[in-house]
Amino acid sequence: MKIEVALDQGRLPAKYGKFGAAADFKNQHPLRSFPIKISNLPEQAVSLALTFVDPDSIPVAGFQWIHWTAANLPINIQEIPENASQQPPFSFIQGKNSTASPYINEADASINQRYVGPTPPSGIHNYELRLYALDKKLDLKAVFWMNELQHAMEGHILEHQKLILPYRG
């Protein structure tokens, strides 16, 4: 299995985070998700899932920031297109990100249940994108937490790939 994200000078392009266009923000949150190319899926794959997190947020926030979780993505795709989180071109479910936590308490589902882009306060943060090929569609409600996704995937991961996507603060 292979995943690719086009980078700009070795980093996630600025438009997918805090330096994005004003039209792509809501309540000060960048919402335009980046495209992900997918190839060489295992033949037994039935669905895909993804996570996008910032482990470098731990010294700042006290926990790993969850930017995006998605499940039951179809296997007949070659790309998750740009802005798929806000304008899904196919059926899949998305989970809660860290803005839904009691610490941020963002109530707007178009923000807390979708992709929310990187906004590191300074320096470079190395974001982790993981894509999972699964042997079944997951029995998750349309709004789930990342731990529920992880539990649902246990014993069903055929293959997974991780990309490190740096973004500047």
Per-residue pLDDT tens over the stretch 27-63: 999 999 999 999 999 999 999 999 999 999 999 999 9
- According to DSSP, the β-strands at 65-73 and 47-54 are antiparallel
Q: Is the pTM of this model over 0.95?
A: yes
Residue 48, SS3?
strand
Q: Which domain holds residue 132?
A: 2-168
Per-residue pLDDT tens over the stretch 136-150: 999 999 899 999 999
Q: Structurally, how many domains does the chain consist of?
A: 1
Pairwise CA distance, residues 74 & 119, whole Å: 29
Per-residue tokens: 65: 């920031």
CATH assignment of the domain containing 53: 3.90.280.10
